[in-house]
Amino acid sequence: MLNYIWATLLFIGLLVAGLVGRVSGDASVIDAAMKGAEKAVMGIALPLAGMMMFWLGVLRLLEKAGVLEAVVRLLSPLLRRLFPDVPTGHPAMSAMVMNLSANMLGLSNNATPLGLKAMGHLQELNPHKQSASNAMITFLALNTGAFTLIPMTAMNFLNAAGVSHSFRVIVPTILATACASVAAVIAAKSFQRLPGFVAQPDEIISETQSTAVKPAGISRKAKFWLTLLGTLFIGVSALELGPPSWRQTVLDQTGLSAVLAKSAQRKAEAEKTLALKKEEAKAAAATQTKVEPPVWRRVMDGASGLAIPAILILAVSVAWARGVKVYEEFVDGAKEGFQVAVRIMPYLVAMLAVLAILRESGAFQLLEYLLAPLLNMLGFPVELLSLALMRPLSGSGAQGILNEILTRPDLSEMVKFTAGILYGSTETTFYVLTVYFGSVGIRRFRHALVAGLTADFIGMVAAVFFGRLLFAFT
């Protein structure tokens, strides 16, 4: 399924970019793809290697100290129901508990290395090494459900944009992520019973067989799509090579020029507003005495700051007290971190490059324009569509859209608070699947993508529902 989705996103991005004039020039989608590929390696994979080594070392100490065993024993009634295929006491249980706990506390960056460790242990139990197991899919569904107790990232964005009382998103985010997590588990358990998602035996092809394999013929259906794609590309090429008036005429006649201009204006105004608010905050901090934060904020910031030191003290002290050679065990646990980061690099490059093309092509603005009447009828704020579409695809892209929404003066507080809830209630599903499955060489995702997108959809619906329920009259 992911093969079709990846190719479709690429084709849509390139064709829309050709239509609106973003194939070449300053706003070239190809430049965006190259930057996305660079970010995949230099901005994500390599920094992740250091975090992987650190947290795998800590995980080894927690395991040797017996802390993880005690936590898993405490949660075993729930874990046995969620993961019946994982034996009690298996290291996968400990890693999954640590990962889900970090996600609940809003420590998403620190949760990824622990999740990758869990996937490695689950792969050890997987009888079909090329297909995702039921336990893997349930685990990833819980990650995409993203149950959160403290949505610190969304709150920070609200504060930076000058939206007061950002703490008001905490309870609705907890409720929305609870709905998404329950939906994720139900979807994972339900879809695994369908015949179309049954795990397939691994493909074993010898060297002699691989050289003898001939390319498959092109079906009539494939010929139709190739013809359609070629025709559309010829039309795009004519717009690119012909006089600029041709493209402008097409955009004017379809009303797309006004949509793109309005979108660019909103983005520029949002960036300007955000920059002004940051300058005002710096000036205020330099000229005024520091204002004491409210008690709730001080407690939440303090609890978030103490979470990791508490884990470190617990891991090292208990392991040391039990006679464990803490330094040597930490190093042994950290050794495999860099290898995991290297394995996921190709998957990250493939996904982030295509998402950069799609994001910069203007496809989301066009889709927002087309779906506006339907969304208004359903009661879904049209301004949140781009955020809802981008969130499962790209975290950085969703952050940019969230900033734009929060700094728009023409939007109500209800829309802004709902945007914060929506951002905190969903996860970058494609990124999670790409990184986690790529780290263990899974080729067939089975129903993992469907379950993850189901969780995202329920989380978005719940976010809009609670946003309207709590903030409609603010």
> Can you give 391-451 as a three-state secondary structure string?
CCCCHHHHHHHHHHHHCCCCCCHHHHHHHHHHHHHCCCHHHHHHHHHHHHCCCECCCHHHH
| Mean pLDDT, range 300-325, rounded to an integer | 81
For residues 99 and 119, what is the distance between their CA atoms, to the nearest angstrom?
Answer: 11
Is-contact 349 45, C-beta < 8 A?
no
- Residue 213 has a pLDDT of 53
DSSP string covering 227-287: HHHHHHHHHHHHHHHS-HHHHHHHHHHHTHHHHHHHHHHHHHHHHHHHHHHHHHHHHHHHH
Percent pLDDT > 90 in the chain is: 10
Return the structure tokens found at 209. Answer: 């067989």
- Residue 294 has a pLDDT of 66
- Residue 402 has a pLDDT of 84
Task: Find, among 445, 360, 435, the residue nearest to 12 by Cα.
Answer: 360
pLDDT for 317-326, tens place per residue? Answer: 988 998 888 8
Quick one: pLDDT band at residue 208, thresholds 50, 70, 90?
Answer: low
- Residue 281 has a pLDDT of 63
| Mean pLDDT, range 385-404, rounded to an integer | 81
- Residue 263 has a pLDDT of 74
- Residue 116 has a pLDDT of 87
- Residue 109 has a pLDDT of 64
Quick one: pLDDT band at residue 285, thresholds 50, 70, 90?
Answer: low
Name which residue leads in pLDDT, 225 or 379: 225
Q: How many CA atoms lie within 13 A of 128 on its CB side?
A: 17
Per the prediction, the chain carries an average pLDDT of: 82
- Residue 185 has a pLDDT of 92
The 8-class DSSP code of residue 131 comes to: B
For residues 36 and 5, what is the distance between their CA atoms, to the nearest angstrom?
Answer: 18
Is-contact 423 154, C-beta < 8 A?
yes
DSSP string covering 361-402: HTHHHHHHHHHHHHHHHHT--GGGHHHHHHTTT-HHHHHHHH
- Is it the case that residue 211 has pLDDT exceeding 70? no
pTM over cut 0.85: no
- Is it the case that residue 460 has pLDDT exceeding 80? yes
Phi, psi for residue 131 in degrees, rounded to 5: -115, 145
DSSP string covering 162-220: T-S-GGGGHHHHHHHHHHHHHHHHHHHHHHTTSGGGPPPPPP---HHHHHHPPPPPPPH
Task: Find, among 249, 357, 470, 273, the residue nearest to 22 by Cα.
Answer: 357
- Residue 214 has a pLDDT of 56
| Mean pLDDT, range 101-106, rounded to an integer | 75
Which of 86-90, 128-132, 300-304 is most confident? Answer: 128-132
The 8-class DSSP code of residue 42 comes to: I
- Is it the case that residue 183 has pLDDT exceeding 90? yes
| Cβ-based neighbour number of residue 189 at 10 Å | 17
Lowest mean pLDDT, pick from 202-216, 387-401, 422-436: 202-216
Sign, Cα dihedral of 50, 51, 56, 61: positive
Q: Which long-range contacts (CB under 8 A, 24 or more apart) does 307-314 make?
A: 307/105, 307/107, 308/107, 308/110, 311/58, 311/62, 312/58, 314/62, 314/65, 314/67
| Mean pLDDT, range 70-92, rounded to an integer | 83
- Residue 153 has a pLDDT of 78
Which of 106-110, 140-144, 356-360, 378-382 is most confident? Answer: 140-144
For residues 474 and 465, what is the distance between their CA atoms, to the nearest angstrom?
Answer: 15
First to last CA, the chain: 43
Quick one: pLDDT band at residue 145, thresholds 50, 70, 90?
Answer: confident
| Mean pLDDT, range 376-389, rounded to an integer | 82
pLDDT for 119-134, tens place per residue? Answer: 999 999 998 888 899 9
Residue 77 contacts by C-beta under 8 Å, 6 or more apart in sequence?
none
Is-contact 348 43, C-beta < 8 A?
no
- Residue 184 has a pLDDT of 92
| Mean pLDDT, range 323-339, rounded to an integer | 85
Is-contact 398 391, C-beta < 8 A?
yes
- Residue 462 has a pLDDT of 92
Quick one: pLDDT band at residue 106, thresholds 50, 70, 90?
Answer: low
For residues 465 and 107, what is the distance between their CA atoms, to the nearest angstrom?
Answer: 26
Name which residue leads in pLDDT, 213 or 176: 176
Name which residue leads in pLDDT, 325 or 407: 325
| Cβ-based neighbour number of residue 412 at 10 Å | 14
Is-contact 13 354, C-beta < 8 A?
yes
- Residue 122 has a pLDDT of 92
- Is it the case that residue 357 has pLDDT exceeding 90? no
- Residue 204 has a pLDDT of 61
Name which residue leads in pLDDT, 342 or 214: 342
| Mean pLDDT, range 24-48, rounded to an integer | 83
For residues 105 and 100, what is the distance between their CA atoms, to the nearest angstrom?
Answer: 9
The residue to which tokens 């973003």 are assigned: 22
**Backbone φ/ψ region at 259: left (φ over 0), alpha (ψ -120 to 50), beta:** alpha
